[in-house]
Amino acid sequence: MVGEQERYIYLKGRQIKASYHKQIVEAYQGNPFIEAIPPRLNQDQLYQMLDSAPRFSGDLNQLDLEERLELIQQIKPGYWKPLITHFERYRNIYNMIKIGYQSRNPLSAIYQREMAIGLDEILSHGTDEEGRNLAGNIQTAQMMADIGLSGMGKTKSYERLLRLFPQVIHHVAYDGEPFPVKQVVWLHIECPSNKSVGALCRNFYWAVDQLLGSNYYEELAEKDGRAEVLAKRMAKVAGNISLGGLFIDEIQRIHKGHSGGEEKMIDFITELTNSLGIPIVLIGTFKALYLFKTSLANTRRGIPDGYAENITDRMKDDLEWDIFLEGIWELQYTNKFTPLTPELKAIMYYHTLGIPDFAVKLFMHVQCRAILYEDNEIITTELIEKVANRTFRLVQPIFELIRRGVDIDPSEYEDLKPDWITFKEYLKDSQHRITIDGHLSEEHKLIMLQHNRKVLIEQLVTFAMKMGCAEEIALCYAEKVELHNREAGHDMELLYLEIAKLVFEGKSDSPNYNTSEVVGITRKRGRNKSTKLDLDECDIRFIVSQGRTDKLSVDEALRKAGLVGEYDEFL
């Protein structure tokens, strides 16, 4: 029993006595669970509380070689530089917890009805088409996946951010009335490596017992081993302890789960959010990127309405990288301080690709090498090159492929970079909100731009073909018109007008036109004797021809017929 329990990993925070704070949001007022949460920190306060470095205040000249090497080993566990993305995570956590409690006011009548019905019963019934559970309550909980590159410090950042919140709040009285409740604001556990719902539940019970001194593990964990039963019991416990947010780390472990384990786990997590209103954050590497695309496609619940996804790639070579590197560069224990030059900054980025974990390791190894083998102990580009080639020799081949933009085998390097083709399709097909930080954001902007151009050209081709233009010629016109107007922006009325002019004035017989002539075609051309066509009144050619009879321009004729809409119709 002890051996099994020791494998469970959870994060432990602080416990406080409840004190209540005035809320500016009306929906939050009168809710002791929300009012007991401490006021949010601003960006400066967050940075001051989280910025840490293992600084040495003594005289380095008085230390021998081994003592300086010992100080270097403290850099990795002690250095942490809060960045903009960390404040955004803090904001998400704070908002999710409050919003999740909004539909779980312990003083409201509907919450009391939920308690009377029983949380396990509510979970088993799920929600109706309007999102109401068995008690008639519509949950406000949100769900988020924080997916990112290995080495970006996701786990460490969540550990530090969650510790800014009290983990357990002890209520005694509220508004003059007894209110003896223990409120668990957050719980951070790891996804089990065996991908089973039962193991996740047992991990959950163990963590709750350690926090509250309860006995859920002995009472529930081994009483019935079926995953479905354990899931219902876990949901009931989560409701009983007034859980504000469940954070499940290492979620990529359920990737490619055996015997349906992946689908069962995701479906169970979604049930917790939909039925009981418990906000859930899933944390993992790129291996977990497509869980909701593959696993929830055929489930009866689907993705929660409040679901969002944050994807974090390696840092770009910009201001945040500069802040991170400048902070760590101060932690030098060589006998001669080396200033950070643009050349040193460039080679550090080149060999680490902007991955913080690699940058810290490289800087530590470079200092050790300088102290042990360099007479002057100066950090140079040559030294960094030598150490990087030795320290990162196993990952340098894949780093080189990434630098060159070469496609890599996603099955072998999923933790470093997602398969771009699959990622493109995922971004286009996803219906939930996706935020992308880091280097992938640039690729994301590019693919979305390409996608928008493709859609625009398809619209122009369809329009031209309705005017009787052959598909091949319509495509030629559409591509050239889009290219000609790319810098000026996509004014749909103007683009439709250009296509209509080209087709109507006989350009369809000669597609190789000069794009500079597209906007204003004023050159008069000799016309062959026209042949009267029997056209339908809805035919664009008839509409334009009739418009000329009525002394209307092409644009006016098409607009009158309702074929040219406002620009925002196509957004």
- Angle 336-353-446 from CA coordinates, rounded to 5°: 145
Q: Which residue, of 277, 312, 347, is where some domain finishes?
A: 312
Q: How confident is the model at residue 187 (pLDDT cuts 50, 70, 90)?
A: very high
pLDDT in tens, 427-445: 555 544 555 555 544 544 5
Q: How confident is the model at residue 487 (pLDDT cuts 50, 70, 90)?
A: low
Whether residue 155 is found in the same domain as residue 240: yes
Q: What is the layout of strands, in order, in the sheet containing 280-285?
A: 187-190, 246-249, 280-285, 143-148, 307-312, 433-437
The sign of the dihedral angle between the CA atoms of 374, 378, 383, 384 is positive
Residue 218 CA to residue 231 CA, distance in Å, equals 16
Residues 5-33, mean pLDDT to the nearest whole number: 87
Whether residue 279 is found in the same domain as residue 338: no
Q: In this structure, is residue 123 part of a structural domain?
A: no
Higher pLDDT, 400 or 373: 373
pLDDT in tens, 94-120: 999 999 999 899 999 998 898 888 877
Whether residue 247 is found in the same domain as residue 289: yes
Whether residue 365 is found in the same domain as residue 305: no
| DSSP structure string for 208-268 | HHHHH---HIIIIITT---HHHHHHHHHHHHHHTT---EEEE-GGGGTT-GGGHHHHHHHH
Q: In this structure, is residue 325 part of a structural domain?
A: yes
pLDDT in tens, 320-379: 899 999 999 999 999 999 999 999 999 999 999 888 889 999 999 999 999 999 989 999
What are the backbone angles phi and psi of residue 282, rounded to the nearest 5°? -100, 130
pTM: 0.69
Widest CA span in the chain: 102
Whether residue 177 is found in the same domain as residue 264: yes
Q: What is the span of the domain harbouring residue 32?
A: 2-38+83-104+136-312
Whether residue 152 is found in the same domain as residue 197: yes
Q: Number of structural domains, the chain?
A: 3
Residue 253 CA to residue 256 CA, distance in Å, equals 8
pLDDT of residue 405: 67
Q: In this structure, is residue 476 part of a structural domain?
A: yes
Q: For residues 32 and 108, is the Cβ–Cβ distance under 8 A?
A: no
